Amino acid sequence: MEITAEEVAEWMLKEVRFAGILYQAQAVTYISENFGESFIYVNDNGNPSISKEVKKIFKKLHKGRVAWDRDGFFWGWT
């Protein structure tokens, strides 16, 4: 069965809800290993990142209840 970007985004939201925080590096590793490389890309800074499609769905799902911490490279429940 094909995994969708929505399923990946839902996993991200569950993680933030449960732990209160989700580090990008941990998310990238987990997504890559459990959902597949197709949801990861290398950004302009040369770092692995979560696909824009997944992040777009994630943003819709959390409805502003999760904030990105630019300095710490993590999402946190607000």
Q: What tens digit of pLDDT does each residue of 25-37 get?
A: 999 999 999 999 9
Residue at 50 is within a domain: yes
In a domain, residue 23? The reply is: yes
Q: Is residue 27 part of a domain?
A: yes
pLDDT digits (tens, 9 = 90+) for 7-24: 999 999 999 999 999 999
Output DSSP code: residue 46: S
Asked whether residue 73 is domain-assigned, the answer is: no
Mean pLDDT of the 42-67 span: 96
Say if 63 falls within a structural domain: yes
* DSSP codes joined into one string, 20-38: SEEEHHHHHHHHHHHT-GG
Model pTM score: 0.94
**Residue 60 forms part of a structural domain:** yes
Q: Tell whether 40 is covered by a domain.
A: yes
**Residue 77 is assigned to a structural domain of this protein:** no
Confidence of residue 41 (pLDDT cuts 50, 70, 90): very high
Q: Which range marks the domain in which residue 59 is found?
A: 5-67
The answer to whether 78 and 66 have CB atoms below 8 angstroms apart is: yes
The span from the CA of 58 to the CA of 72, in Å, is: 19
